[in-house]
Amino acid sequence: MNAVQQFTKGRIHDVACKPLKKFLDERGWLTELFRSDELEPEIMPAMSYVSMTQPGVARGPHEHVEQTDYFCFLGPSNFKVYLWDTREGSPSFGVKQVLYAGVDAPSIVVVPPGVVHAYRNIGTENGIVFNAPNRLFAGQGKSEPVDEIRHEELVDSPYQLD
Ligand SMILES: Cc1cn([C@H]2C[C@H](O)[C@@H](COP(=O)(O)OP(=O)(O)O[C@H]3O[C@H](C)C(=O)[C@H](O)[C@H]3O)O2)c(=O)[nH]c1=O
C-alpha cells in the first residue's frame, strides 16, 4: 500500500468527469451512457450494473488494481464523490479530488486503477448509480478473486469522508 497520509486538493490526472446529456420530451428523458465509438478500447466496458444507495449512506473507499470504473450518476438524488490518487509516478500523486454528481448534475465519472474512490448520497432520496467497468466482477464465470482493495475498515485512514 502507498503511504500517503496527507492529500492536497486538486484534480486527478486521468479522472474524467463529463455531463450526461439528457434528451427531454413530453414523455420524460433519455440519455446515452456509453458508446463504443467514443471510448478508448482500454476502458471499454466488460459488464454493467446498477446500485441504489440510501440517503446519507456511503460506498467505498475502494480501489482497483486493473479495473477502470465508469460511473454514471443518474439521480434521483445527489452524490458527493471522493477520489484520492495513490499512484506513484502519477502527475497528481497525493491529490484528493471531490466532485458532486447526480440529479442536479447528471455525470459520468471515469476512475482509473489505483485511484481510491468513494461516494455518499447527500440527498434525501434513494440514489441510482450505473457502473460499466472494463473488467468482469470476479472474472470469467466469477472464478477469480475480486479486483478490489477495500479501505472501509482502515484504522487512521487517510481516506476520510465528511
Ligand atoms: C460490484 C458487484 C457486486 N456484486 C455483488 C457482491 C455483493 O454481494 C453485492 C454488493 O457488492 P459490493 O459490496 O462489492 O458493493 P460496494 O462495496 O458497495 O461497492 C460499490 O461501491 C464502490 C464505491 C465501488 O467502487 C464498487 O465498484 C461498487 O460496487 O453485489 C456482484 O454480484 N457484481 C458486481 O459487479
Q: Are 8 and 96 in contact (CB under 8 A)?
A: yes
Give the Cβ contact number of residue 143 at 10 Å. 8
Domain 45-150 has CATH 2.40.170.20: no
Mean predicted confidence (pLDDT) in 8-13: 97
Which residue has better confidence, 135 or 156? 135
Distance 49 CA to ligand 1 centre (A): 9
Tell me what ipTM this predicted complex has.
Answer: 0.95
What pTM, to 2 d.p., does this model score? 0.95
Whole-angstrom distance, CA of residue 101 vs CA of residue 7: 22
Mean predicted confidence (pLDDT) in 56-70: 97
Establish whether residue 59 lines the binding site of ligand 1, counting it when its CB lies within 6 angstroms of any ligand atom: yes
Give me the percent of the chain exceeding a pLDDT of 70: 98
Whole-angstrom distance, CA of residue 12 vs CA of residue 83: 8
Residue entry with cell 439528457: 22
Mean predicted confidence (pLDDT) in 132-161: 94
Strand 8-9 relative to strand 95-102, pairing: parallel
Instruction: Select from 47, 54, 62 the residue to mutate for testing ligand 1; criterion: most ligand atoms less than 8 Å from CB.
Output: 62
Task: Tell whether the model's pLDDT for residue 2 goes beyond 60.
Answer: no
Domain range summary for the chain, segments of one domain joined by +: 45-150
Question: In a 3-state reduction of DSSP, which class is residue 149?
Answer: strand
Task: Tell whether the model's pLDDT for residue 65 goes beyond 90.
Answer: yes
The pLDDT tens digits of the residues spanning 78-126 come to 999 999 999 999 999 999 999 999 999 999 999 999 999 999 999 999 9
Nearest CA among 63, 103, 102 for reference residue 83: 63
